[in-house]
Amino acid sequence: MSTGLFVKEASLQKKMDMMGCTVEDLKLVKDIQPLVEENINHLVEDFYTSILRVDHLKKIIEQHSTVERLKQTLKIYIIELFNGEIDQVFLEKRFRIAEAHFRIGLESTWYMGAFQNVQKSVISLILDNIKDRKSYAPILAAVNKLFSLEQQIVLEAYDMKRLESQFEEGKAFLKSKMTAVSEELLVLSEQTEVSVEELSSNIHEVSLTTSESNEQAIVANKHANEGQQKLDELLQKNNFMETLSQKMIENIHQLGESSNQISNVIHLVQDIAEQTNILALNSAIEAARVGVHGRGFAVLAEEVRKLSEQTKSSIDQIHNLISTSNTYKQRVEESLQQVKDAVQSSISSSTHTRESFQLIVQSIQQNGATVSKVQEQMNKLIHVVNEIEQSISSVASSAEHLNEAAIKA
């Protein structure tokens, strides 16, 4: 069997170069392989004697294998270590050893300590069997290099397995977290979607109600304006009635003044009639004195007297009519004053009602403006809620994809 390095791996070559491990060293190791093989049982016993002193290492062995089985495996492993040949098979066996030890929970420090005992036993074996110092010095150096290389390879494999384990643990943890988060996110998205749908439904109802309120406000504003217009017309009519009543009162006052003037004239005519009557009486007396010559004058005086009596009688009738007219005038004045007072009261009430209507119209207009703003805001809110619904739907879809990815990972 040939000796040497048969692996084209830069890192391994660098390790050997750093230690000064050469093909000559591998040949020296190969030369003492028969000595190692002869004493393999002793080397293996020393190895497991130190191992079995540690209770938890003993438990690991008993849990995963048997001492006898492991001894047979170790014999082959140590003998092949001295083949003087480092190839891919050599490396893969070291990787498998490291993987097995890592899998059963054997820490690298215990492996190093136990393998140090094997190295010490091999050195003792060399010292006991090779007496020439010039001969065993390079052999010991080669053996130390070999064991150092062995430990480096195994420790690197340990590190690789630990990193792989940490990666798998991290991956499993991340997968678990991703699954949990995606499931929670999915549930939350579904709950949020339901809530947003309910919110959207409520907002649509509020929007419809707001729209109806806006329409009602417009109708109410229209009716209020019509009512205010009718109130203005009523106020104008009341003002016209007040003016008309005032004019009627003034006309009746003027009529009263005319009646008073007529009464004065009648009194004057009455005085004249009485004087005429007296004058006619005196004329009759004078005619009677004259006798026959005064008969014509007596007839004329009698006619004048009769006319005076008729005038006086007519004046009395006129006076009575004027008195009755004054009574009616007073009643009409009182009624017109009552009408005027009622009209003024109606004007005052209409004015207050108009002011109240103006406040109502202003309030309705303000409410209408507020409702319009609310409706505008509701429309914006509906738009925002629709965007939220789309976003939540996208989040739910992403959560499902994340959950699927986490499960497949």
pLDDT for position 34: 95
Q: What is the mean pLDDT of residues 25-53?
A: 91
- Report pLDDT digits (tens) over 6-22: 777 888 888 888 988 89
Residue in the block written with tokens 């009716």:
223
Which SS3 state, helix, strand or coil, does residue 56 take?
helix
Predicted confidence (pLDDT) at residue 259 exceeds the cutoff of 80: no
Helix, strand or coil for residue 215? helix
pLDDT of residue 1: 58
* Mean pLDDT along residues 278-301: 76
Residues in the chain, how many? 409
Domains and CATH numbers, the chain: 4-183 (1.10.490.10), 192-408 (1.10.287.950)
- Each residue's pLDDT tens digit, 68-114: 988 898 898 899 889 998 888 888 888 887 787 778 777 878 878 87
| Residues 6 or more apart in contact with residue 51 via CB below 8 angstroms | 57, 58, 61, 110, 114
Long-range Cβ contact pairs of 132-136 (< 8 A, separation 24 or more): none
Q: Are 8 and 128 in contact (CB under 8 A)?
A: no
What's the whole-model pTM score? 0.46
Buried b (16+ CB within 10 A) or exposed e, 177-186: ebbebbeebb
Does 122 or 222 have the greater pLDDT score?
A: 122
Q: Tell me the three state secondary structure of residue 32.
A: coil
